[in-house]
Homo-oligomer: A and B are copies of this chain.
Amino acid sequence: MGAMTATERPTSWRRDAEARLIDAGYRRGGARTTILDLLDDQRCARTVLEMEDALRSRDQSVGRASIYRVLDELEQLGLVQRLEVGQGIARYERLAPDHHHHHLVCQSCGAVQPFTDDVLERAIASLSAGTGFEVTGHDVVLHGRCAACRAGDR
C-alpha cells in the first residue's frame, strides 16, 4: 500500500485553502494563517484545546474564540471536517481526498488512531445512493481498546 509517509511536505490543501478563503471574501489574518499551518501539519483530528496548547508551545498563541471561529469558517467551506468521537468533545482535521480516513477510539484512554479501508469506502459509496438523502460526507468510528490499554489491563 503505497508508503507516502512524508507529512512535513506542504500539502496542496494548504494553498487550496488559502485560495478558497480569499475567493469567499475573507481577508488574510494572522490567526487564520497560523491555524491553517497547524491544520496542515497535523495527521489526525485534534480538539480545540489541543490546538490551543500546540500553538502556545510554538509561541504562536491564538485566542480560543478565534480558533473556533476559523474552524467554523473552514468547515463551512468544506476544508475541514469536524467530528465527535465521544465525550462530547469536537475534533477537527483537514479535509482532502488524499487525507481521507476514519478513526479508532480507545474507550479506556481516549486515544484516537486513523485507519483507511477501500472496501468500506466502496460500501458506503454504493449504499448512499439508496437513502433519499443527498449524501455529502460520512464518518466511521470504531470503538474498542488499544493495544497499550489491553496490555496494561486498564
**How often does this chain occur in the complex, in copies?**
2
Q: How far is the CA of A123 from the CA of B120 in the complex (A)?
A: 5
Contact of A133 among B86, B128, B142 (CB under 8 A): B142
The answer to whether A132 has its CB under 8 Å from any CB of chain B is yes
Residues of A within 8 A of B (CB): 82, 84, 86, 88-90, 104, 106-107, 113, 115, 117, 119-120, 122-124, 126-128, 131-147, 150
State whether A126 and B119 are in contact (beta carbons under 8 Å apart), knowing that A88-B88, A90-B88 are contacts in the complex: yes
Q: Name A137's closest neighbour in chain B (CB-CB).
A: B143
Interface contact B117-A127, CB-CB below 8 Å:
yes
Q: How far is the CA of A137 from the CA of B140 in the complex (A)?
A: 11
Interface contact A138-B141, CB-CB below 8 Å:
yes
